[in-house]
A = this chain, B = another copy of it.
């Protein structure tokens, strides 16, 4: 995502264009391994040494609220972030913090079909998330 594109997407959402927001959105895009706030702060500070921790959290919130990034839940007490907005699932490593993307339209289709037919009494489904936990082979 080029800087110009980032500017445009911020304006589009009615968000003020600030260097901090640009930097954070760039960081999440470039650090494409579902970075944590800490990762993002570390990365950003190389070029913007004075960015405050609180600002990064506030920016991440604003971006997530406005659908410019997604939050990725983990087993730990640490939120991770994702610049990929298309529907996809995640492969979680059971022995490290690695999280990889997993897109599978056939699977999504199957689940959608299944839950369209199958009614859960007293409950209306909004979203079905899959956490696929396992081990990555070799590197």
- The residues of A with any CB-CB pair to B shorter than 8 Å are 73, 75, 77, 91, 94, 100, 102, 104, 106-107, 110, 114, 118, 120, 122-138
Contacts and interface: CB of A to CB of B under 8 A. Distances in A.
Nearest to A78: B77
B125 A129 contact: no
A114 B111 CA distance: 11
Q: Which 9 A-B pairs have the closest CB atoms?
A: A125-B134, A126-B134, A129-B131, A127-B133, A124-B134, A122-B137, A124-B135, A126-B133, A91-B123
A75 to B, nearest CB: 7
A130 B128 contact: yes
B114 A110 contact: yes
